[in-house]
Amino acid sequence: MFTYYFSLALRSLRRNVVLTALMIAAIGVGIGASMTTLTVFRAMAGDPIPNKSRQLFAVQIDNWGPRQGVVIGDKDNLQEQISYPDAIGLMNARAAQRQSAMYATGFSLIPPNPELRPFVVHARAAYADFFPMFEVPFRYGGSWTAADDAGHADVVVIGRELNDKVFGGANSVGKTMNLDGHDYRVVGVLDRWQPTPKFYDLNNNKYGKSEEAFIPFTRAVEQQLGSWGNNNCGGDTIPAPGWEGRLHSECIWIQFWAELPAPADAARYRTFLNNYAAEQRRLGRFHWAPNTRIRNAREWLAYRQAVSTEVRILVLVSFSFLLVCLLNAMGLMLAKIMGRAVDIGVRRALGASRRAIFSQCLIEAGVVGFAGGLLGLGLTLLGLSGLRSLLSDDVNRLTHFSAIDVAIAITVSVVATTLAGLYPTWRAVQVQPAWQLKAQ
């Protein structure tokens, strides 16, 4: 029956080419616009670490105290990063299954080939737990060890691109790499790893590339590698000069993540943090009641508003646009079906059930939706290439169109058009055969 209705639908659509073309064009344009923005939105709002996003927690500790200052507008009196004393305090306590303090830094790399000019490598100082905690894939070798953390070892894990650039893509584990004049031993080479957004540090380039080199936090601090990320020296105390002064200051520049697999672990960690802050108060460092918080990766992305305002506006506008297109198609479908009231009357009189008319009209709407979806796909690809030329490289990384997006586009188009076809179909079903025949 379906194939018969399908051929009927095609025949009916052919009968009024202009109206059909208008419907398909309207739906295609609407689908094209909304899928273009949805693709970007999905990439921005995506879960960068789906297996563990509810088990990985960003840690916040208020080390500045309640402020009346209205100028710096933070939402809950909690800073988005932590200070060095707190990072060390939490690392020493090891109250979570895995944890790592981390910060963005970088080097100039002097290539072994003297012909080549030095270039900048963005790096991250972290603890060994960083790699298993974030499920970072390795191509060669692996993470450094906790002993390397303790021993401030000169080891480095490098990204795949950097390995390609410096070692020609060969297994470089055991080789040395000169970073800012110091030799580091390569212990691991990453496979492609690009969490989007870069949830563990949203301060800079949140959709940008992940770092190309990772070294032990302890080594980076010993080496006095400054933070290349966000540094905030608010609070009431002024840091003493120099690196030591920075370390002992209440400046915030470190991100801290903990892996807490079960809700009970999270609850325990919350208690631990509160006790830690209370302890700091007893020691005279904090002069206020403990204010600490952990947020899992999903909550963290929402809290930090990872999706840019521009994209949210575009999604809103393009879906309203799709709605207009669907209303439009609905009006045209209505016109088409009412124009065929006589046909429908004849079919009913010849014995077609309401059900049969209903499925026939809906299949016709579905065919229009499918055709509109195909057109929409083409327009989406066009739209995405348009976006690539208009938006910054950061956002551009988010314009990949996958098989899933194709499926979404077609499904949305067929379902939405069929829904829009419901009312015209209902009207078709209401056609009284006797009336139509009489008018003849």
Q: Is 3 in the site for another protein (CB under 8 A)?
A: no
**CA distances in angstroms from 35 to 27, 168, 325, listed in the order given:** 12, 39, 14
Query: Among 290, 319, 273, 292, which residue's Cα sits nearest to residue 412?
Result: 319
CA 90 vs. chain centroid, Å, equals 28
Q: Does 391 bind another protein (CB under 8 A)?
A: yes
CA distance 100 to 127: 5
The minimum distance between CB 58 and another protein, in angstroms, equals 20
Looking at 77, 171, 224, 411, which residue binds another protein (CB under 8 A)?
Answer: 224
According to DSSP, the β-strands at 292-296 and 56-61 are antiparallel
Instruction: Report the DSSP beta bridge partners of residue 123.
Output: 105, 213
Q: Contacts with another protein in 4-23 (CB under 8 A)?
A: 19, 22
What are the distances in angstroms from CA 38 to CA 251, 314, 317, 319, 413?
Answer: 39, 9, 11, 9, 13
Residues 175-194, one symbol each (x = binds another protein by CB under 8 A, - = not), give -----xx-------------
Minimum distance from residue 440 beta carbon to another protein (Å) = 9
Rounded Cα distance, 52 and 50, in Å: 6
- Residue 202 Cβ vs another protein, minimum distance, rounded to whole Å: 13
Q: Which residues from 392-411 bind another protein, rule CB under 8 A?
A: 392, 395
- Start-end of H helices in 306-353: 309-339, 341-349
Give the nearer residue to another protein in terms of CB position, either 56 or 416. Answer: 416
What tokens appear for 114 in the block?
A: 């003297």
Among 364, 340, 345, residue whose Cα is nearest residue 422: 364
45 near another protein, judged by CB under 8 A: no
Of residues 336 through 375, those in contact with another protein by CB under 8 A are: 336, 338-339
* Cα Rg of the chain (Å, integer): 30
Which is nearer to another protein, 4 or 243 (by Cβ)? 243
User: Which one, of 419, 409, 336, lies nearest residue 30 by Cα?
Assistant: 409
* 328 touching another protein, by CB under 8 A: yes
Quick one: which segment of 56-64, 256-264, 294-302, 385-393 binds another protein (CB under 8 A)?
385-393
Look up residue 266 and give its two tokens: 């999270």
At 437, give phi and psi (nearest 5°).
-70, -35
Place of tokens 């009913």: 348
Please give the residues from 130 up to 169 whose contact with another protein meets the rule CB under 8 A: none
Shortest distance (Å) from residue 93 CB to another protein: 27
Note whether 24 binds another protein by CB under 8 A. no
Q: Does 390 bind another protein (CB under 8 A)?
A: yes
Beta carbon of residue 383, minimum distance to another protein (angstroms, whole number) = 8
Applying the rule CB under 8 A, the residues between 94 and 113 that interact with another protein are: 108, 110
Chain contacts with another protein (rule: CB under 8 A): 19, 22, 25-26, 29-30, 33, 68-73, 108, 110, 117-120, 180-181, 224, 226, 231, 233-234, 236-243, 245-246, 308-310, 312-314, 317-318, 320-321, 323-325, 327-328, 330-332, 334-336, 338-339, 386-387, 390-392, 395, 423, 427
